[in-house]
Amino acid sequence: MGGRLQGKSAIVLGAGTSAPGMSIGRHLAVLFAREGARVLIADVDPKSLQETRDMIRNDGGICEAEVFDATRLEDQERCVAACQTAFGSVDIVQNVIGRGGPGGPREVSAQQWRDSLELNLTSAFFACKAALPVMEKQGGGVFVHIASVAGIRYPGSPSISYQCAKAGLIALSRGVALEFADRGIRSNCVVPGNVDTPQIVQRLTAMHGADKLETVMKRRGQNSPQGRSATTQDVAYAALFLASDESGHINGTELVVDGGKVAQCAKPYA
Ligand SMILES: NC(=O)c1ccc[n+]([C@@H]2O[C@H](COP(=O)([O-])OP(=O)(O)OC[C@H]3O[C@@H](n4cnc5c(N)ncnc54)[C@H](O)[C@@H]3O)[C@@H](O)[C@H]2O)c1
């Protein structure tokens, strides 16, 4: 067990998983606990949330779990209160809530647009709204949000509501960072490109069939100059850095985890 978050209390929002295995939120929660944080994990899915809690406890970590709906302010406030009650403070809010969906402005319905913004952006706004008063009172705190390269670049196929919501998430994070910098509060985003997670495997299997999965996953990885997608570990360690005091002077910015994809203007053609 390391000590990069020793003495910290962290809330990890979205610490379950949509499909069996290691999601980004689960990986993060386990890593944060290994690094010494007391973690309050939250998710809408009770079963996978409990699995994450058991993993952490079996690993010797300190963990409490709250079932919640991230799109409800009162649920976000309950998580903050539960963290305070259990651990005495809220030093880190690690927000992992989000889900992509295909379609451009012609295909996406008004309801799908609203649902996507609620899940990917309003949930983060509520997380900030719930935790900021506590952090202000404490004299500090850290927000880390998991955004997406889709929020800063066209992702290759339309996912308009997700693109806009993740762009908004980056703006939200910057806004909080600047408004609260003088009160010891920091806010940053991790911006992953493609990540191999169970949810992605499930979705691509449903779209292309199990027989094509390997080829599709390989092609997805080749999007990155490194020739592979990110692992959940790649994302978790970037978030750990931003959540820890090691990044004490890093505020209102984004850490891109994509093997160089965003930095690349064009692929060689001759
Ligand atoms: N997988 C990728 O390629 C990729 C790339 C860039 C960014 N991201 C972002 O990373 C995050 C995690 O992705 P993942 O692939 O591990 O997905 P995942 O679906 O496994 O994890 C998301 C978690 O959020 C929970 N959740 C969903 N709606 C909720 C709600 N209303 N209230 C509370 N919890 C809710 C789910 O139950 C799940 O446990 C998302 O924000 C996603 O947008 C993923």
CA distances from 199 to 15, 24, 116, 233, 254 (A): 13, 10, 17, 15, 24
**Residue 98: predicted pLDDT:** 98
Q: What are 11's two structure tokens?
A: 């809330």
Q: What is the CB < 6 Å shell around ligand 1?
A: 14, 16-18, 23-25, 43-45, 48, 68-71, 96-100, 119, 146, 148, 192, 194-195, 197, 199-200
Residue 99 Cα to ligand 1 midpoint, Å, equals 5
Q: What mean pLDDT is predicted for residues 230-234?
A: 98
Q: What mean pLDDT is predicted for residues 136-148?
A: 98
Nearest CA to ligand 1 atom 4: 195
To test the pocket of ligand 1, the residue of 23, 51, 55, 152 to mutate (highest count of ligand atoms within 8 Å of its CB) is 23
Structural domain 9-195+231-257, CATH architecture: 3-Layer(aba) Sandwich (3.40)
Does the global pTM surpass 0.85? yes
Residue 130's pLDDT band, with cuts at 50, 70 and 90, is very high
Q: What are 254's two structure tokens?
A: 């984004």
Integer Rg of the chain from CA: 18
What is residue 216's three-state secondary structure?
A: helix
Does residue 192 have a pLDDT over 90? Answer: yes
Nearest CA to ligand 1 atom 8: 148
22: CB partners within 8 A, 6+ apart: 197, 198, 232
Residue 259 Cα to ligand 1 midpoint, Å, equals 21
**Domain regions of the chain by residue span:** 9-195+231-257, 196-229
**Residue 2: predicted pLDDT:** 84
Residue 249's pLDDT band, with cuts at 50, 70 and 90, is very high
CA distances from 189 to 5, 75, 151, 166, 255 (A): 18, 22, 11, 10, 6
